[in-house]
Structure 1
Amino acid sequence: MKPETPDADVTIVFDATCTLSDGTVLRANVYAPRTDEKVPVLLLRHPYSKDNPFVMGYLDVFRVVRAGYIVVIQDVRGRFASDGEFAPTTQEQADGVEAVAWAAALAGSNGIVGTWGASYGAETQWSSALGRPAALKSMVTVNSPSHSHTRGFVMRGGAHELGSRLGWGHGAVGLESTRRHNPPGAEGFANALRAHAEVQDLFDDDKIFTTRPLRDLPTAEPMLTWVAESLGRDSTDPWRSINMTAGHYDDIDQAVFVVGGWYDVFLGSTLEQYRGVLEHTKRAGLPLPHLVIGPWSHTSQADRLGELAFGTFSSAFFPGADVGLTEQHLRWYDATLKGRTELLENVPPVRIFVMGENRWRIMNEFPPRAHELQRWYLGADGELALQPGHEASGSSYSYDPADPVPTRGGATLLPPPYQPGPFDQSPLYERSDVLSFTSAALDEDVTVIGDLEVTLFASSSAVDTDFVARLCDVYPDGRSMLIADGIIRASARENDGSLGSAGPRPSPIEPGTVYEYRIDLWATANTFLAGHRIRVDVTSSSNPRWDPNPNTGKTAYTSAERVAAEQTIFHDAAHPSRITLPIIGTPGTETGRAVPASDSTKNERQ
């Protein structure tokens, strides 16, 4: 195809063809600098249309091209301009390896390839890297889902990410997949659009989330049917490990720069991939990976999220710890693809935003070494204290899956009207099925950076049920802002999927028996300011984020049966239910140096 020429610096070739070994043709847009010099190629592969400018969002493609790179944006197999059938995730390793080799051989390429992209565009990078293509030397992955299917988006703690999965199957990939299952032309597209609108009506009135069994969801959208079927697979299903990076980090020899957000649904996976590469580089004597985590969600890297503003210098475009995200990409690629390693010599490998104090901190590794692991114990009368109670005690509530607790914010990727981020949980406290345990007002700032875990000693009248835990920052004015949350399905207590198919299968619990449950809240960086309070909420649902457990031992995919369950959380010396917080010392120590705040603390000192 004849190149388009929008200006004197950049040429664009639309629909450049990449023919795979099985004959399938993938198509891409190729942006190249007008130069006689051979330059590296930066490849993005995703299913959301190579012609969609919003997918490029966080990266200024033309600036990157003018800096001396060929940028390629390719539709993956079975999507938009590319041929074939779309098989999410499973197709991407083999296709990615061939696409990297094709990109390396493009006219004007020097044979060196780097990759970039967010979400599915990050997953395709990791999948390609697992195939070890010779030309691939460097990656920048943003909000990546592919450490494990059990670390968010697909499943978490043995529960299904109901809202995210259905929302993705419909809103992100549904219409195009339905169009391809209809005859070509205007009539076929009209049929697809009608089917899409029919399903959208179910989202608009929330019926999509209350349909039981889930296998009865409308079949007019093929991708939604595929997603619904995946909701019938448990956490140990071998399908969940296909093309996932867990256990394979010794196969990743590329230079890796990882970007994420504290309120991204893929935060758990993003951090696990960073840690996996970190340990591998230490063993192999390779340069350390870089990590940036901001107060961002899956779709927003602005300075405001949920019900909080974090200050101008919290955004990806004006980060107080560094240059903007496009400039960080360029610096990384210049160092790792063009040999200008001096550009990274004075750049701390880890830059994270600490909420509450609203400052960036820089460090060599994440998580930093904690000054102290504090255990805050749940107690009688809703207390949260540094010592467990001595007298036998417990707090009870009734969980009815027909009336689940609604989701308010968090690290989510849900369809409207459900939004991610820090939201005040106070409206939920009017419910009888939400327990809150709150500390006294803090005498001084308490900074928490690192992994979070809640340990619950609990019983249920059901043979299976869920327990949800939330960490909140309680402001002097009474707002209870969500910091992090997590879930455990009782039947997955011995293996939430992290042990894979070789670990224990889900098993029922004995009604009335006390079990110890560990709930992974992933990680955070937050300073609880003096005068604020620390709060832990406990309940058994967050709908539509996670599929409400029917308490029957059956799955919501196959059964419409639901029963209420009586839950008891025990909190005494024999049953020390608690949250474990990694407390970090003052900035300037090995735990992370703070970057000057500029205007970034103006919202929080209250």
Structure 2
Amino acid sequence: MLTRDGVRLDADIYRPDADGEFPVLLMRQPYGRALASTVVYAHPTWYAAHGYIVVIQDVRGRGTSQGNFKLFTHEIEDGEYTVKWAANLPGSTGKVGMYGFSYQGMTQLYAAAAKPSALKTICPAMIGYDLYTDWAYEGGAFCLQSNLAWAIQLATETARIKKDEKAYQALLAASRHLPLHDPIPTHPEILKTFAPDSFYHEWLAHSQPDKYWEKLSPKTYLKDVDLPMFHIGGWFDTYLRGTLNLYKDISARSAYRQELLIGPWAHLPWSRKVGAVDFGPDAASPVDRMQLCWFDQFLKGVDTGLLDELPVWLFYMGSNVWQGFPSLSISKGRSYFLSTTGLASIREGEGILATTCPETSTDDVLVHDPWRPVPSNGGHAAIPAGCFERTHIDYRSDVLTYTTESLETDLYLAGDVVVEVWCMSDKKSYDLCAVLSEIFPNGRVYNLTQGYLRCQDGNHRVRRTIHLQATCAKIFRNHALRLSLSASCFPAYTMNPGNNSASSIDAEIITLMVSCGGESLSQIILPVVTP
């Protein structure tokens, strides 16, 4: 097809082996249309066999499509034209639905922003709603590992398309071993040399939520858009914030069905084993069959019974089952307060989480050494993401740990987790990483969720609020919970040098004081659900 400005976009079209007219399922993606996101979805032939024309298109400047690729910039207009073109394909009923995850989820939101009449429904999975807070930065800190890996991936594909062998081989090698230890860690030489026009440089330059992000974010363009949407996320997906923020905004005002499914998955694959933990057979992706039911309902007008079912489906880690809910407002906050002997970084059991407030105030001191930062280990921001054993990290002397007694009854969590800590630093700027883990009776510790915050004005003792990624888990009786605090989580996030320098040679040792008890009530607020 040709865009408004005459650029040719190429697509593969899969058709049912039958006569008649069929609705169209459209996916717009930048990774080569033959792949068709089969890392998480069934092949397009499966959807075609169920009575759909399936269109997988290379976006502008990717695959064999013409034009220059500039991240997200052309997707509203190109998406609108593609929907209109797909609706008029031979054998089409004129009704179009879209599906796909990550970039392919974003192209759905941009196409919907143009409000083409043929677009009847979308199924956005693992997306950024506000690109600054949901994708590029978390708590004001740059998401280094995921952004750098993606930038190198896209740059490698660009070099392949241009048949630049030298750039391709160099970038391919960098994709296998990320350049995380250059003199300026956030500005690796490989991207400066071989991808000077990468989005990555712009994202680093715009470290605050300014007009740049507003112009680029789907949130800006969806204020008066309303469609039936099937929202899909993962508890360990780095973009879960975007999925949840979009769902909350749209469901609060939509006249149509909004359905939400969150599995125990990382960004990919959507399978039963996530990191080091096997969540059982029910954790295998039900998305293809659910999408087929969704499209039958909204593109074919089939009464599938979908509208009679609960709209929110969450996977309960621990019990390893799916649970339906009428909404996301299902939990009530319960505070666990931090108390300490002052040795929470040295010995297990010296830092405590309890439902009663400690009467006297005690401080823990944490020292961050840029020579040996606390390493990232699973969660949603690291590569690989997921659930991993982390005892070796909690034993470090630059990690503060606060642990509950063994639970006397099962505890159900579902929703947002918030940590509030009173702290100050000897440097003007510092970071806080908070990890919530489950401790098994055998002493092994597995992460449930985490959050990150870049703090300014560090010389004053203030209460800092860290928003952890939403989670959903059953914590069994005789298990315990642990909150771990550190001043780094590298390379998931850029390290804070403690000053305004970008060079690693100027990074400083940061001493951080966390206060517990008395008037300094530090706490973690858990989303507790009554079973």
TM bucket normalised to smaller: over 0.9
Match of 1:445 in 2: 410
1:475-494 alignment to 2 at 5 Å? Answer: 475-491=440-456
Structure 1 residues 20, 479: closer, same or farther in 2, change over 3 A?
Answer: same
Shift of 1:443: 0.3
CA distance in 2, matches of 1:304, 1:562: 38
Match of 1:163 in 2: 145
Does the Cα contact within 8 Å between 2:36 and 2:44 map onto a contact in 1? no
Match of 1:9 in 2: none
Shift of 1:274: 1.1
1:401-440 alignment to 2 at 5 Å? Answer: 401-412=370-381, 414=383, 419-440=384-405
Match of 1:328 in 2: 290
Does the Cα contact within 8 Å between 2:26 and 2:96 map onto a contact in 1? yes
TM-score by length of 1: 0.82
Secondary structure at the aligned position of 2:327 is classed as coil
Amino acid at match of 2:167: A
Does the Cα contact within 8 Å between 2:432 and 2:486 map onto a contact in 1? yes
Shift of 1:248: 5.1
Does the Cα contact within 8 Å between 2:123 and 2:232 map onto a contact in 1? yes
- Equivalent residue for 2:475, pick from 504, 511, 528: 528
CA distance in 1, matches of 2:158, 2:309: 43
- Equivalent residue for 1:264, pick from 213, 237, 248: 237
Structure 1 residues 243, 40: closer, same or farther in 2, change over 3 A?
Answer: farther
**Equivalent residues, number:** 521
Does the Cα contact within 8 Å between 1:209 and 1:544 map onto a contact in 2? no
Amino acid at match of 1:374: R
Amino acid at match of 2:386: G
- Equivalent residue for 2:187, pick from 215, 237, 242: 215
CA distance in 2, matches of 1:287, 1:149: 25
Shift of 1:342: 4.5
Match of 2:56 in 1: 73
Match of 1:576 in 2: 521
Match of 1:591 in 2: none
Match of 2:282 in 1: 313
Match of 2:160 in 1: 179
Deviation string for 1:67-96 (max 9, x for gaps)?
211100000111111111111122211211
TM-score by length of 2: 0.94
CA distance in 1, matches of 2:357, 2:370: 31
CA distance in 1, matches of 2:198, 2:295: 40
Shift of 1:151: 3.4
Match of 2:347 in 1: none
Structure 1 residues 261, 531: closer, same or farther in 2, change over 3 A?
Answer: same
Shift of 1:338: 1.4
CA distance in 2, matches of 1:160, 1:114: 34
CA distance in 2, matches of 1:62, 1:576: 57
Match of 1:379 in 2: 339
Shift of 1:237: 2.8
CA distance in 1, matches of 2:186, 2:291: 42
Does the Cα contact within 8 Å between 2:39 and 2:269 map onto a contact in 1? no
- Equivalent residue for 2:431, pick from 458, 466, 476: 466
- Equivalent residue for 1:83, pick from 51, 66, 75: 66
Higher mean C-alpha deviation, range 394-403 or range 431-440: 394-403
CA distance in 1, matches of 2:196, 2:392: 35
Match of 1:351 in 2: 313
Match of 1:604 in 2: none
CA distance in 2, matches of 1:53, 1:39: 20
- Equivalent residue for 1:274, pick from 225, 243, 247: 247
Match of 1:44 in 2: 27
Match of 1:297 in 2: 266
- Equivalent residue for 2:76, pick from 93, 107, 116: 93
CA distance in 2, matches of 1:585, 1:158: 34
Does the Cα contact within 8 Å between 2:156 and 2:172 map onto a contact in 1? no
CA distance in 2, matches of 1:103, 1:87: 23
CA distance in 2, matches of 1:228, 1:434: 32
Deviation string for 1:22-51 (max 9, x for gaps)?
111110001112344222111100101001
Shift of 1:395: 0.7
CA distance in 2, matches of 1:89, 1:209: 29
Secondary structure at the aligned position of 1:481 is classed as strand
CA distance in 1, matches of 2:194, 2:26: 30
CA distance in 1, matches of 2:87, 2:183: 48
- Structure 2 regions of 5+ residues with no counterpart? 341-349
Deviation string for 1:83-142 (max 9, x for gaps)?
111111222112111111111111111111100001100010011111211111101112
CA distance in 2, matches of 1:398, 1:483: 25
Deviation string for 1:132-184 (max 9, x for gaps)?
1111110111212x21123344110000000001101113x12221234x5xx
Is 1:561 matched up with 2:526? no
Amino acid at match of 1:71: V
Secondary structure at the aligned position of 2:315 is classed as strand
Higher mean C-alpha deviation, range 392-401 or range 48-57: 48-57
Aligned-pair identity (%): 29
Shift of 1:574: 1.0
Does the Cα contact within 8 Å between 1:150 and 1:157 map onto a contact in 2? no
Amino acid at match of 1:379: S
Match of 2:136 in 1: 154
Secondary structure at the aligned position of 2:169 is classed as helix
Deviation string for 1:357-406 (max 9, x for gaps)?
222111111242x2x32001111130101122111211111112332111
Is 1:394 matched up with 2:376? no
Secondary structure at the aligned position of 2:252 is classed as helix
Structure 1 residues 243, 129: closer, same or farther in 2, change over 3 A?
Answer: farther
Does the Cα contact within 8 Å between 1:449 and 1:525 map onto a contact in 2? yes
CA distance in 2, matches of 1:519, 1:147: 20
Match of 2:171 in 1: 196
Amino acid at match of 1:245: P
Structure 1 residues 528, 331: closer, same or farther in 2, change over 3 A?
Answer: same
